[in-house]
């Protein structure tokens, strides 16, 4: 990935929820993402350069035996800008949470 992770203009922001509080060791598997823990869930957030990178993160989650709860692709409203930590300023499409079909999925 030449220059992929540092070029945020072409990156897409994701919010990935997993069950439980991840240890520092588990968090080290996701250096491209920031983590916050709340209500026995960990929220991993960050910009990924493409869907292949997203699939890589999801593969690591599965390989580590973590329970994926939700993947969100937040979008700012047209004509506005929102800080990443302003939840009220973002409108998000639910991609995968067990109640909706993901846009990209596996054949499990």
Q: Could you tell me which of 43, 50, 66 has the C-alpha nearest to residue 13?
A: 50
pTM over 0.85: no
Mean pLDDT over residues 55-74, rounded?
Answer: 96
Rounded to the nearest integer, the mean pLDDT of the chain is 74
- At 2 the three-state DSSP class reads coil
Q: What is the pLDDT of residues 16-41, one digit of tens each?
A: 999 999 999 999 999 999 999 998 99
How confident is the model at residue 75, as a pLDDT?
78
């Amino acid at each position: 990935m030449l220059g992929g992770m540092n070029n945020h203009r072409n990156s897409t922001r994701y919010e990935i929820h997993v069950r439980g509080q991840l240890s520092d060791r588990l968090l080290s598997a996701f250096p491209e993402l920031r983590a916050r823990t709340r209500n026995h869930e960990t929220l991993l957030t960050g910009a990924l350069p493409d869907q292949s990178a997203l699939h890589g993160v999801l593969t690591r989650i599965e390989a580590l035996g973590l329970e994926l709860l939700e993947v969100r692709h937040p979008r700012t409203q047209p004509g506005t800008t929102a800080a990443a930590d302003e939840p009220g300023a973002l409108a998000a499409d639910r991609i995968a949470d067990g109640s909706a079909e993901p846009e990209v999925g596996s054949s499990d």
